Amino acid sequence: MPQTIRQFTVDAFTNQIFKGNPAAVCLLDNWLDDRILLHIAQENNLSETAFIVPQGDEFLLRYFTPKAEIDLCGHATLASAFVLHHILPNPPENVVFHTQVGKLSVQKQDDLFLMDFPVFELQQQENVAQIGAILGVMPQEVYLGRDLLCVFDDENVVKNYQADHAKIAQLDGLLCHFTAKSTQFDCISRSFAPKLGIGEDPVCGSGHCHILPYWAKVLGKNRLIGYQASARSGILHGEIKGERMILGGQAVLFAKSEIYVNV
């Protein structure tokens, strides 16, 4: 029997449509079969489709790329909080999501959505030359958390890199991030996710759970602003608080729609 699902498309980490990272947000009454969730994500063909199920005053949240479910996605969390703030008659001050990485709360402050996220522990890698040979450019340092973090001493290398996604997929880590110190912001980055069926992720929130803590230590400051230098671009605000961090950004609604699936 066909089921109608409300879906919203939100551009996250930006205040302009066609910028930032687009995420689809689907509002469900209860979970559908995982195969259907994956098919919806594949049909949307965005880097992320988020699925929300209410649980009392809080919400269950899952994230699907066109290829697989993942444990944490920053821009889809931001987009989900944005949607709930705009459709609920009396949205809570803190929207609480239950995810694979635990409880995530999101607070709206002026035009920013502030997300309480984990900080990924980074282990410095010794095989920098080998990684550089695969990438075709030589990082200054490489770290591994959930993702691979490649640090460069020139932001132009990050901006101008022509990614070979097949080669990046050979490396450790779920995603691969390039980062460097920025002349305009605290840091600049780009994010690649060929293992998840995504060439370049336009603005990667969970990637900045690696990137911003790294630069906080290097720059000796807890509050930072990062710039994602993809074609769409995006701005991320971070505050490091030990093993947790506040990751903030703006969002804008691009589309509302209804989708129809047989269940």
CA–CA separation, 209 and 120 (whole Å): 6
pLDDT for 262: 85
Q: Where are the domains of the chain?
A: 2-118+248-262, 123-242
- The owner of tokens 């990614």 is 163
pLDDT for 41: 97
CA–CA separation, 54 and 30 (whole Å): 8
| CB neighbourhood size of 243 (10 A) | 10
The reply to whether domains 2-118+248-262 and 123-242 share a CATH topology is: yes
Domain boundaries 123-242, corresponding CATH code: 3.10.310.10
- The owner of tokens 């995504």 is 198
> What is 2-118+248-262's CATH topology?
Diaminopimelate Epimerase; Chain A, domain 1 (3.10.310)
Percent of the chain with pLDDT over 90: 95
Of the candidates 43, 48, 155, 200, the residue annotated as catalytic is: 48
204's tokens: 């990667």
Work out whether strand 148-152 and strand 176-181 pair parallel, antiparallel, or are unpaired: parallel
Contact 55, 109 (CB under 8 A): no
| Secondary element (H or E) of residue 242 | none
Is residue 90 very low, low, confident or very high in pLDDT (cuts 50, 70, 90)? confident
Model pLDDT for residues 44-62, shown as the tens digit of each residue: 999 999 999 999 999 999 9
Is residue 1 very low, low, confident or very high in pLDDT (cuts 50, 70, 90)? low
58 noted as active-site residue:
no
